[in-house]
Amino acid sequence: MKTSSELSLTLAFDLEGFFNERQALIDGELDRLLPGESVEPVSVHKAIRWSVFAGGKRFRPILMLTTGEAFGASPGVLLATACALEMIHTYSLIHDDLPSMDDDELRRGRPTCHIRFDEATAILAGDALQTLAFQTIAEESLLSAEKRVLLVSELGHAAGTPGGMVAGQARDLEAESRAVTSRELEGIHRLKTAALIIAAARCGAIIAEATDPELEAVGRYAAQLGLLFQITDDLLDITATVETLGKTPGKDARAQKATYPSLYGIETARQRADLVHQEACAVLKQIDRPTKRLRAIADFILRRKA
């Protein structure tokens, strides 16, 4: 019998081809959905494409496709909504990088949007991307109108306030340079990172017409995944080099930002990541569907190097 670690390696290997294939599918659809660089206003559309095609891993749309496919939907009916998720994610990165927010000059090894262009263009590019995300779902004729409004609502909750991404970013800024408890920290990450990851999994399941208990279980799996994503992100900020990370490592520590390693130490943070990974896998076992790839995604995040 294979050990758990050998099993993960096998799955992770299969996953790479699947990831690459899905990534190409998503990138092609994003290219189709986004206005071209020669379309006016050229500055905004160049800025949008600069940030959307910056080598992102497409984690949220891939999770969405994988969940939808596990529940029986075909990639075709999932794709537009998957791209909408990536648009929301990219808009949030553009705005979070701004000087008045996290003030980041480098992302994925390249200048951030406001550095490459200017602040006004970056703000407008983010704004337009958010609009296009909701518009894309509303206009997806492969889905019934009933599903489209459910998806817009789901994405709205995950992206906005009081229960979504913007709320998380606001609380994160507010918590900077003061002591936060581990409970507060998890609350911030739940909003800032996990909300959209949960929405990604749920949107896939909604399109595939999963039952309410299935939707609920998928949400719990994705919540653990979101937490795992954040812990490994914090760990990478300490342990990775600028080459593998594509952004300045050690930035959190210099900004005196509360992170898992800063609160618990590196070793305990790693143990916490293992525990959260196990919990994500335990939830999958309760779902009576082919969840092998969802399991592989959890393995991948636990072991990611960038």
The binding site for its own copies (CB under 8 A) comprises 35, 39-41, 43-45, 91, 95, 98, 100-101, 118-121, 123-124, 126-128, 130-132, 134-135, 137-139, 144-146, 148-150, 152-153, 156-157, 159-162, 164, 166-167, 169-171, 173-174
3: how many CB neighbours lie within 10 A of its CB?
8
- Interior/surface letters 80-104, b for 16+ CB within 10 angstroms, e for the rest: bbbbbbbbbbbbbbbbbbbeeebeb
What is the smallest separation between the CB atom of 155 and its own copies, expressed in angstroms?
Answer: 8
Q: 43 or 248: whose CB is closer to its own copies? A: 43
What is the smallest separation between the CB atom of 134 and its own copies, expressed in angstroms?
Answer: 4
Q: 5 or 100: whose CB is closer to its own copies? A: 100
Q: 144 or 278: whose CB is closer to its own copies? A: 144
Q: 126 or 261: whose CB is closer to its own copies? A: 126
Q: 129 or 228: whose CB is closer to its own copies? A: 129
Q: 92 or 259: whose CB is closer to its own copies? A: 92
What is the smallest separation between the CB atom of 121 and its own copies, expressed in angstroms?
Answer: 7
What is the smallest separation between the CB atom of 127 and its own copies, expressed in angstroms?
Answer: 5
CA 157 – CA 287 distance, rounded (Å): 25
* Three-point CA angle 50, 90, 59, nearest 5°: 110
* Three-point CA angle 175, 181, 184, nearest 5°: 60
What is the smallest separation between the CB atom of 237 and its own copies, expressed in angstroms?
Answer: 21
Look-up of token digits 């995040």? 301
What is the smallest separation between the CB atom of 33 and its own copies, expressed in angstroms?
Answer: 12
Nearest to 170 by CA among 124, 230, 227, 101: 101
Task: State whether residue 114 is helix, strand or coil.
Answer: helix
